[in-house]
Every structure is written in structure tokens, then in C-alpha cells.
Amino acid sequence: MRDWIGWHDAYDDPASSLARRLEVVKRRLDQALDSLTTTRPRLLSLCAGDGRDVIGVLARRVPSLAVTALLIDSDPKLTARATAAAGGAGLGSVQVRCADAGDIASFADVVPVDVLMLCGIFGNIDHSAVKNVIQATPGLLNVGGYVIWTRGGSEPDRRPQVRSWFESAGLEEVAFDGTPQPYGVGVNRKTPRSALSPTRQITDRLFTFA
Ligand SMILES: C[S@@+](CC[C@H](N)C(=O)[O-])C[C@H]1O[C@@H](n2cnc3c(N)ncnc32)[C@H](O)[C@@H]1O
């Protein structure tokens, strides 16, 4: 199994592409939260790691914060870090769950949400499975809700295909940050028109890490 704690160490170097990607994800999340009209938006982050993307953004919104969030990761050390960070930032409405995010039972109690974070997942599951996740995504979102996702740009560059799969699933592209950066950060939105595209109903697993 991959050392996910060690993977997070790259965030410590502000010049690393991971640290630069983090800044993009945070900015996009901030913008998404700003544009939501729901009074108490719900956020779900799958494979959330130590949650620094979400917690960093929500922490800046205390005390006016109205967002409730669920962060899921399967590594107990990372979820402990996320719990500590959320507590330290006074984010009482952020729940951290140590669970298998590929199992829909792990988050069935909170969907649909207004923001779904799928960061650091698509490069770690079979590429054909990425399409399945994307086709199921509209069913996890409220109308007007956003999915924020990442996909690295290593060859073969899968970013264009991921973007087109989101469009085909009826999720309108709001922003995409990619080339010349080695990462891709996408933001797609569920609109009333999204209902015209078929949504894949997930019955058991959303994805399995390779
Ligand atoms: C590439 S990291 C991304 C972390 C975070 N989203 C980020 O972008 O900083 C992948 C994360 O997925 C977690 N993970 C792997 N398999 C998982 C599963 N089945 N359920 C939940 N988390 C899982 C790992 O522990 C790791 O924190």
C-alpha cells in the first residue's frame, strides 16, 4: 500500500507542484462557496487526506461559517490530523470520518451535497473507473452544486478526457487550471440541464484504489 503520509510531505515545499496545486484548489473552493445561494451548504471530500484544502478555506470563514462538511479518508493518522486541524480552527461543523470512501455507505447519509471534492483520486484508480465515478457524480450533487477534482498531467495526459467525461455527464465546466502546470484542477457544476444526461446509479462501490 502507498505511503500516503509521505505523499503529503511534498506539501511542505511551497515550490512543489503539489503545494501549487493546493493553492489552486483552495481558490476554486473559495469561489464555489462564494457563489452558492443555499443558506447552509454541505460539502463532502472523498479521500480527503489531512483535509488541508478544505480546512484552510473554511477556517478563513469562521465565525460566519455556514458550511457543514464531511471529510473521509481511510488512513487513521491522516484523519487524526484533519480532526485536530478542524478542531484547532474552531470548525465545529466539520466532521472527519475514517472510512472507505469508495463504499457509498460511508457517505450515504450526507449526499446530495453542494460541493464535492474529488482531489487526488483519479490518478490512483483505473482510468476506465474514472468515467464511472464521473457518471455517478450528478447523483451526489444538488442542482447548482460543484465538483472540484484533480488529475495529474503525466503522459499519457488524461486531463482532456476527464474534462470531456464531465461535460458528457451534464456537468458544466466552470473552470479548469492545467497546462503548462503538471496538474489539472477542474470545477464543474450541476445545472438544471444536467438532468438531461443519464446519471449512473451507484449500487455498491464508487471506486477502488489501485
Ligand atoms: C493522493 S492523496 C489525496 C489527499 C487529498 N485529497 C489531497 O489532495 O491532498 C489520496 C488519499 O486517499 C486516501 N485513500 C486511499 N484509499 C482510500 C479509500 N478507499 N477510502 C478513503 N481514502 C482513501 C489516502 O489515505 C490518501 O490520503
Does a structural domain hold residue 159? yes
Does a structural domain hold residue 166? yes
Residue 34 CA to ligand 1 centre (angstroms): 26
Tell me if 43 CB under 6 Å of ligand 1: no
The mean pLDDT of the chain is 95
- State yes or no: pLDDT of 1 exceeds 80: no
Residue nearest to atom 16 of ligand 1 (CA): 209
* 14-41 tens-digit pLDDT: 999 999 999 999 999 999 999 999 989 9
Does a structural domain hold residue 167? yes
- State yes or no: pLDDT of 66 exceeds 90: no
Residue nearest to atom 3 of ligand 1 (CA): 120
Does a structural domain hold residue 201? no
- State yes or no: pLDDT of 204 exceeds 80: no
Residue 96 CA to ligand 1 centre (angstroms): 13
- The domain that holds 116 is classified in CATH as 3.40.50.150
Residue 121 CA to ligand 1 centre (angstroms): 7
State residue 199's pLDDT score: 80
Q: Which domain holds residue 24?
A: 4-196
Tell me if 187 CB under 6 Å of ligand 1: no
* 98-147 tens-digit pLDDT: 999 999 999 999 999 999 999 999 999 999 999 999 999 999 999 999 99
Does a structural domain hold residue 168? yes
Q: From residue 62, how far is each of 27, 90, 91, 168, 182 by CA, in Å? A: 17, 7, 7, 37, 33
Q: What angle do CA 135, 208, 115 make, to 5 degrees?
A: 50
Ligand 1 pocket mutation pick from 23, 74, 118, 147 by most atoms within 8 angstroms of CB = 74
| Residues above pLDDT 70, as percent of the chain | 100
Does a structural domain hold residue 102? yes
State residue 44's pLDDT score: 98
- Over residues 72-101, the mean pLDDT reads 97
Domain count, the chain: 1
| Residues above pLDDT 90, as percent of the chain | 89
Does a structural domain hold residue 206? no
Residue nearest to atom 4 of ligand 1 (CA): 49
Under 8 Å between Cβ of 97 and 70 = yes
Does a structural domain hold residue 98? yes
Tell me if 207 CB under 6 Å of ligand 1: no
Confidence of residue 189 (pLDDT cuts 50, 70, 90): very high
